[in-house]
Amino acid sequence: RIKNDGKGLAAFFDSSMEREALARMKIEQSLRLAILEKRFCCAFQSKVDIRTQAVKGIEALVRLRDDEGVIQAPGSFINLASELGLIDELTHLVLAEIVKSIDLINETFGAEATISINVAAKQAGNPEFMRSFARALDDTGFPQRFMIEVTEDAFVAKNHFQDEILPMFRKLGVGISIDDFGTGYSSLSALADITADEIKIDRSFITDIHKRPRSQGILRAIESLSEALGMTVIAEGLESYEELAYLQAATKIRYAQGYYFSRPIFLEELKLATPVSSESRASVANRPHQQN
Ligand code: C2E
Ligand code: MG
Ligand code: MG
Ligand code: MG
């Protein structure tokens, strides 16, 4: 507890609270403006077959270009967007950008690559949003290219997610992916009730996996359960050769996503990098340790 017995401290305290409130107002204002001006863009990160290095799919990761032109990662605005009721619109903007860029996406990553869009658990629990989003995916004319990534919390919450919402997406051919698996509130046994196509093991289990026997045990458990349930496993946040070597030597996990294979990249960066053939573009998209 801070005892507020000096004028200096009170002034310091006020001004730091003021600064915080100001900073929040500033980001709120820029968020509203960014929605109006559609100042969002997507970085794409590939999901890679660790045996062949082929791109299985890509994930769209939203970015905000703020008032000063600085690119902001979602950590700084997703929760706020959700609180302010702007996240649904943002998700529709992400889809719109994908549709607009589909030719370049196909050229860069291949026309077979699945395209994953993140949906926050709160959105997943809102049937109205999910219906409108399913309709928007259908309207693209290629809904079967898409996957939605939701955290396990969305499955555990008592709503009609599993019984009514997911079947609607499945009917369109949209894949279902469980994001950040292992960090939420469900247990391994809860997986038995979940019907999804893909399970993404959270980065916290993959980091230094070669040196961490407990993580290795958890990985083995998730792996065998997923295999029994027919779900594809993806290792998230793979950063090092040692981690990759462990996965290859000690597991049957076939897919990974992480800086080791590719950072999230902007399509326009690839477009600007001339002269570039489509083959070298694909390899740029897959180059380890690329910036951004
Ligand atoms: P996520 O869906 O789990 O995405 C993975 C995050 O890990 C991304 O951060 C990605 O850049 C980062 N990452 C990928 N590989 C590595 C690695 O090897 N090492 C490390 N340290 N990090 C890695 P990002 O782009 O900042 O996104 C953070 C989260 O924001 C995402 O986590 C997702 O939950 C959320 N998000 C992103 N785009 C959207 C969106 O369009 N809608 C919603 N609702 N949420 C989004
Ligand atoms: Mg994700
Ligand atoms: Mg994730
Ligand atoms: Mg994660």
**Apex CA 280: angle with CA 55 and CA 241, to 5°?**
55
Instruction: State in Å: Cα 131 to ligand 2 middle.
Output: 20
pLDDT in tens, 226-263: 898 899 999 999 999 999 999 999 999 999 999 999 99
**Apex CA 120: angle with CA 55 and CA 29, to 5°?**
110
Q: Is the beta carbon of 62 within 6 A of some atom in ligand 1?
A: yes
- Give the DSSP H or E segment for 57: strand 55-65
Please state, as a whole number, how many other Cβ atoms lie within 10 Å of the Cβ of residue 105.
21
Q: Is the beta carbon of 177 within 6 A of some atom in ligand 1?
A: no
Q: Is the beta carbon of 179 within 6 A of some atom in ligand 1?
A: yes
Predicted complex ipTM? 0.98
What the block records as the tokens of 42 is 């997507």
CA 264, CA 29: separation in Å to the nearest integer?
27
pLDDT in tens, 115-134: 999 999 999 999 999 999 99
